[in-house]
Chains A and B, each alone.
Chain A
Amino acid sequence: MRYLPKSPAERQEMLAAIGAKSIDELFKSIPEKFRLRDPLALPGPLSESEIIQYFKARADENARGYTSFLGAGVYSHLRSVVADAIIQRGEFLTSYTPYQAEFAQGTLTAIFEFQTLMCQLTGQEVANASMYDGSTALTEAVLMAERLTDRDYVLVARSVHPEYRQVLHTYAKNLGLKVEEIGFTPSGQIDRAALTPEKLSRAAAIVVQSPNFFGVLEDLPALAQAAHASGALLVDTITEAVSLGIVRPPAEADIVAMEGQALGIPPSYGGPYVGVIATREKFVRQMPGRLAGETKDAEGNRGFVLTLATREQHIRREKATSNICTNEALYALAATIHLCLIGKEGIREQALQNLAKARFAQTELEKIPGVRRTFSGRTFNEFTVEFPRSVKLINHELLKEKIVGPYSLGMYYPQLTKNAVVCVTETTSRAEIERFAAAVRKILEKPL
């Protein structure tokens, strides 16, 4: 077997050196009745070419040659092959968590750069080395707010990604954390009137997403002010990190929970992605996840180490800020490389392209009779549209045109059936946007 570097002769010699007659002797501590006699029923073994064949066959069973208008937390953006070339280097791909700092300065330096980039992007003072993804980062941010304020009640906007809210609920219900959902106004933003001073005085945090699930931007300074006036915190989650290329960063938020997938990480059917928590320096000891810090060796050379480890599970065990251990280091590296490549000018240009394309799509769609924008709030590259017919029907017809239509809101927002969130990024050509609008028009023109 090609992954096993032993010859049969060597196995025999090693057994002899140990003083064992057979390999079975080395397993004698397993009670006889539990030791398998027969090989497991598993497919394979496959050679390398057969493995590739299997997966190519699977790829062919997926969407090929479709244009997609889906966002909803996962975004199709340009990425450079350079990032892949670097993360495939064995020294990054096959290296371990950098607990032995002297032997892992490559990883630690890159983490430090990642933390810096996340701070620059979000306008926060400190960021960690990554969380699993945006949904768990948000949950951890909420738990962090709870610890910081000693309050066990949070106000969460319904315009936060439904799957993110589901994750929060799964964690919250066993921790005695009360989650109250707050609705939205015709602007698509959180209903500030429902955030009463009485509620806020009991709340650990207001939790919003910006741009939110409807694509609408929230008024973070106002929300922060309202929260702080009553001793609560503002937690902001961001699913579309490219928005930060042109949208004002959430500097007023106390904790930012971001999904970094948009930063050069492929959609890959749901993961792996990279979450991050960024916050104020004064909250750093309540942050979950790893942190790389700058220091020196005895000769004064700059180096980096994992630090403030006493927050974490391997030291604090049941009193840790989180149970997280393995995170998404390789994809934090991929995002770091991507951001270095695209750079200060590039991310702004990319964001502006997204803004322009989305505006163009919106204009084209609003020309269709019966189609109107649902919310009045400002948007980035996603916007919600109301159709005169069922979205399910429209999307079903669009598939025949090899178009994956917008995200139907009916499932999670019963009052918004016939509404869908359209996402347009810099990767969608003008021709495809026009083709999409034309297809929708045609579908709507057909008699019922």
Chain B
Amino acid sequence: MSTLLNPKAAEPEAAAHHVGKVRSHPSQNEGLIFEHSLPGKRGMELPPLDVPAVDPVATLGAEFTRASVEGFPEVSEIEVIRHFTRLSTWNYAIDLGMYPLGSCTMKYNPRVNEFVARLEGLATEHPSQPAELSQGCLRILYDLQKCLLSITGMDAVTLQPAAGAQGELTGLLMIRAYLESMGNARRKVLIPDSAHGTNPASVVIAGYEVQNIKSNDRGQIDTDHLREFVTDDVAALMITNPSTIGIFEERIAEIAAILHERGALLYMDGANMNALAGVTRPGDFGVDVMHLNLHKTFSTPHGGGGPGAGPVMIKKILEPFLPTPVIVQKQDGSYALDSNRPQSVGRVRAFAGNFGVLLRALAYTLAYGPGIRQATEDAVLNANYIRKNLEKYFDLPYDLPSMHEVVFSDARQKAKGVNTMDIAKRLIDYGFHPYTTAFPLIVPGAMMIEPTESESREECDLFIDAMRSIAAEVDSNPEIVKTAPHSTRVGRLDETAAARKPVLRWKPA
């Protein structure tokens, strides 16, 4: 309902919501699309119907017919463009600057990837059309598979999972199927306390019990005591390498050996692959199953929360258990989808996978070729450069070599009553997205920073300057940090009220 036509709009109390202080820039007052809606406006027209029209009640029956979609917006094309363009100005983005979010790998999303994903003949293909009409799509998937296997040093792969979490689940399902085929599925999966929350959540869905194991004082797997934990009941250990504090597990070969001795498997969460691609291969250091996050290491856009893709790479022993369909190349060189796999764990989603995302990942890999190592080196260089320049200002809980990310803690600033979240919010005023706060759980007051290789030296220096400036503010003017951000459209939002009385949709007044 447009406030312009509503005579009561002059009285703020009568309006459907309180917009707050008037801001000078018009885009800051943009309401919801529903608030622009008026009967009779349209944003899209359809070509005329070229067959006889039908009466819905006669065709569907009155009991199945709907009068209209109540409350649906009625706006013009320009209003849609303006509305969403204005909304976009309230967002931060990689295109604008650094997102130093640890373990998210917020790297540049190449635009050629967007172009090729939209090509007629790729964006238009129906997944159920005959394989003979889909050879181009199947070859893209097959070529990507080969690239991912080269990079990870593994033997076989599934591209089906829609995200890392689903990849974890798929990997665990294959582990279960394999162990079942050996006579005993076992009961437990070991998870370090530094793990990402999706790890234990996925374990439970796979029908296993989570056993949390404490990291040692170096934030790594307690290899000395690992043998005690790996009983005959343990199916696997889920490890992130480098760990979620950005440190490589040097004793990884030993860890793998301990597990293999007991017939258990090593799962690697590949979220931090950006530190390894082209430099080392998980398949070489004992990993049996791993997933990759294509929306991290492989540059597919994060899009505000997806889509992603979480392909799973495995060693040969697990190949019979791959989800169906499996993409194969036949004798005559053509490609096909093979569903004749009696030991398969089944399907984890309809159709072949997030093809559009997979396609973008292939485009990224082709752009680099063997030169992908340079990206990894630059990522690690940037993280260490930032670490060196900030270690006098912020507490470093683990004095071990960082790879592609560095984890500080707010221990020094806590003394002045300022915590990691405050510092993160103040970073916004300097034009940067916050780093990852409060994760991993093993570092209280964590500040996890991953610049990625996409940051120039200039950007890194700007970030360092901002962080140093905030450290100084903590000493001289802590209030400005504690009440940050000051420069955004809205201040800190009341999350408590949002959770106590959730309002999860717009309703007409």
Contact = CB atoms under 8 A, between A and B. Distances in A.
A91 interface: yes
A384 interface: no
B307 A102 contact: no
B371 A109 contact: no
A1 B368 contact: yes
B13 to A, nearest CB: 12
A119 B18 CA distance: 24
B266 interface: no
A55 B144 CA distance: 12
Given A34-B280, A328-B306, A270 B350 contact: yes
Interface in A346-404: 346-350, 352-353, 355-357, 359-360, 378, 380, 395, 399, 404
B373 A43 contact: no
Interface stretch (B3-11, B133-141, B407-415, B474-482): B133-141
B445 interface: no
Contacts of A120: 69-72
A50 B363 CA distance: 10
The residue in B134, B299, B302 that gathers the most chain A C-beta atoms within 10 A of its C-beta is: B302
B181 interface: no
Contacts, number: 698
B504 A126 contact: yes
B66 A249 contact: yes
Given A294-B498, A297-B491, A327-B306, A63 B134 contact: yes
Interface string B111-129: 0101111111111111111
Given A6-B378, A82-B80, A317-B201, A102 B491 contact: yes
Contact of A348 (B68, B81, B453): B68
A113 B121 contact: no
B53 to A, nearest CB: 5
Contacts of A87: 303
Nearest to A350: B46
Interface string A275-301: 000000000100000111111111111
A399 B129 CA distance: 11
A73 to B, nearest CB: 6
B163 A326 contact: yes
Nearest to A102: B488
Given A5-B456, A244-B69, A308 B388 contact: no
Interface string B459-477: 1100000000000000000
A352 B122 contact: no
B69 A82 contact: no
Contacts of B365: 42-44
A89 B492 CA distance: 26
Interface in A1-54: 1-6, 10-11, 13-15, 17-20, 23, 26-31, 34-36, 39-46, 48, 50-52, 54
A135 to B, nearest CB: 4
A268 interface: yes
A317 B94 contact: no
A429 B367 contact: no
A313 interface: yes
Contact of B492 (A60, A102, A106): A102
Interface stretch (A144-152, A161-169, A197-205, A436-444): A161-169
Contacts of A247: 60, 64-66
B51 A356 contact: yes
Contact of B201 (A58, A102, A318): A318
A298 B490 CA distance: 9
A155 interface: no
A326 B307 contact: yes
B363 A51 contact: yes
Contact of A295 (B20, B64, B247, B497): B497
Interface stretch (A178-186, A227-235, A331-339): A331-339
Interface size, A (range): 35 or more
Given A18-B388, A36-B280, A91-B96, A352 B56 contact: yes
A349 B374 CA distance: 54
Interface in B185-215: 196-198, 200-207, 210
A90 interface: yes
Contact of A333 (B21, B85, B304): B304
A448 interface: no
Given A42-B372, A105-B490, A331-B307, A18 B165 contact: no
Contact of B369 (A44, A127, A171, A330): A44
A181 to B, nearest CB: 15
Contacts of B49: 352-353, 356-357
A215 interface: no
B287 to A, nearest CB: 11
Contacts of B279: 27, 30, 35-36
A301 B368 CA distance: 46
Interface in B284-341: 284-285, 293, 295, 299, 301-308, 323
Interface string A51-69: 1101111111111101010
B19 A301 contact: yes
Given A45-B368, A120-B72, A248-B65, A103 B385 contact: no
A343 B305 contact: no
B303 A93 contact: yes
B163 A327 contact: yes
A419 interface: no
A325 B353 contact: no
Contact of A102 (B139, B356, B490): B490
Contacts of A85: 81
A91 B89 contact: yes
A30 B91 contact: no
Nearest to B207: A174
Contacts of A315: 197
B41 A343 contact: yes
A117 B164 CA distance: 28
A284 B503 CA distance: 11
B368 A44 contact: yes
A-B complex: 10 closest residue pairs judged by Cβ atoms? A44-B369, A330-B303, A59-B121, A90-B95, A270-B351, A174-B207, A329-B305, A61-B136, A301-B20, A272-B307
5 contacts: A14-B382, A248-B64, A301-B18, A323-B201, A329-B304
Given A89-B88, A96-B106, 12 more contacts: A1-B374, A29-B401, A40-B370, A86-B88, A93-B114, A176-B207, A266-B123, A271-B349, A310-B499, A328-B305, A357-B49, A433-B51
